[in-house]
Amino acid sequence: MKSVLDIKNLKVGFHSDEGFVQAVDGLDLQIGEGKTLGLVGESGCGKSVTSLSVMRLLPEKARISGEIGFLGEDLLQKDQKELERIRGDKISMIFQDPMTSLNPVLTIGEQIEEVIRYHQGGTKQEIRDRTLELMDLVKIPDSERRIREYPHQMSGGIRQRIMIAMAIACDPELLIADEPTTALDVTVQAQILALIRELQEKLNTAVLMISHDLGVISQVADDVAVMYAGQVVEWTTTEELFESPKHPYTQGLIRTIPRMDEQQGELEEIPGMVPELSQEFKGCRFYDRCPKAMKACKKADINLLDVEQSKVRCLLYSE
């Protein structure tokens, strides 16, 4: 299968007041054509930094190295002009908070139209028709009227649909959704996820779905990568992840999902805190919180190991 996105040994760091912060440290990921990869982890684990690296939207001070292969080309080698042509056209992105992600002083129509105008061109009428078509596609009712309205006149759910309409306007190869449902009500959340799934199948777009919520990931993703402290600790199919989680961190994450079907006493949690990324790491980064930690875990950096269908960064599975 052809891969759309192929990230190799991505490292992203920032200089901050606490020193150099290695937000992403040696990340490898792949997404095949028309597939959905879920990227999960706690806040601060480097998920969003990863997505912004792919878009090349990180602040200028970010130190970035490695390779972000996109359809055979390395995005890290592109200049601003080339990136502007790729963004919104071949790779597009949906952000977390639809309430703040749309420009309050431009009409909905204009915000969708400008993507088409800039990347594909066409007459005024063609662009308008295409915009209405997109609004119908993302199931915005009454699109003829809405096209002239402003973001503040709409609910969060509708705004996120508009974000999606903008994102799919040019039929991108890759759609990055960074916590697209986190800011929405649960019912709206389900609708938006269903919509993303439906469009993805219809348009055969590869999706990078970022979430801290395994529930969301389980609904949409084909594969899942679990991130911890700037690294992928487990990478496998969604089915495998939920049926037989390998890494102690993944196991912990799955245990923390509250269940309705059985008597549960206290809610589970993973003890301890996410480590500071400004420190030098040696060995396993989950060591301090891991119930199965061994002496050897702290001795040397651990590589991703192939275990059955999964890749796991854990010494429990080394020979």
Partner 1 sequence: MNILNYILIRFLWAIPTLLGVSILVFLMIHLIPGDPAQLMLYPRGTPEQVEALREQLGLNDPMAVQYFNWLKDALFFDFGKSVSTGSSVISEISSRFAATVELALSALSIAVVVGIPLGVIAARKKNSLIDYLCITFSLGGVSIPVFWLGLMLIFVFAATLGWLPVSGRISMDSGMQIVTGFYLLDALLIGNLYAFGDAVKHLILPAVALSTIPLAMVVRITRSSMLEVLSQDYMKTARAKGIPGRLIIYKHALRNALIPVVTVLGIQIGSLMGGSILTETVFSWPGLGSLIIDSINDRDYPVIQGVVFLATLIMIVVNLIVDVLYAYLDPRIRY
Nearest CA among 25, 42, 2, 9 for reference residue 210: 42
Closer Cβ to partner 1, 39 or 241, answer by number: 39
Least distance in angstroms from the C-beta of 92 to partner 1:
7
Closer Cβ to partner 1, 102 or 290, answer by number: 102
Closer Cβ to partner 1, 166 or 227, answer by number: 166
Least distance in angstroms from the C-beta of 86 to partner 1:
7
Distance CA 91, CA 102 (A): 18
Return contacts of 137-140, CB within 8 angstroms, 24+ apart: 137/165, 137/168, 137/199, 138/162, 138/164, 138/165, 138/168, 138/195, 138/199, 139/195, 140/165
Q: What is the identity of the amino acid at 109?
A: G
Residue 251 Cα distances to 28, 237, 270, angstroms: 21, 15, 10
Distance CA 57, CA 83 (A): 10
Residue in the structure block whose two tokens are 């779905």? 209
Closer Cβ to partner 1, 56 or 247, answer by number: 56
Residue 218: both structure tokens together: 């389980």
Least distance in angstroms from the C-beta of 95 to partner 1:
6
67 exposure class (CB count in 10 Å sphere: 0-12, 13-18, 19+)? middle
Residue 79: both structure tokens together: 């200049």
Closer Cβ to partner 1, 100 or 155, answer by number: 100
SS3 (DSSP) at 228: strand
Closer Cβ to partner 1, 103 or 309, answer by number: 103
* Footprint of partner 1 (CB under 8 A): 55, 57, 80, 83-89, 92-93, 95, 97, 100-107, 114-115, 118-119, 150, 152-153, 163, 166
Closer Cβ to partner 1, 10 or 102, answer by number: 102
SS3 (DSSP) at 305: strand
Distance CA 139, CA 148 (A): 16
Least distance in angstroms from the C-beta of 157 to partner 1:
17
Least distance in angstroms from the C-beta of 37 to partner 1:
19
Closer Cβ to partner 1, 42 or 97, answer by number: 97
Distance CA 287, CA 247 (A): 12
Least distance in angstroms from the C-beta of 126 to partner 1:
18
Least distance in angstroms from the C-beta of 34 to partner 1:
21
Least distance in angstroms from the C-beta of 248 to partner 1:
35
Q: Catalogue the E-assigned strands of 17-144.
A: 19-32, 36-40, 63-70, 73-74, 91-94
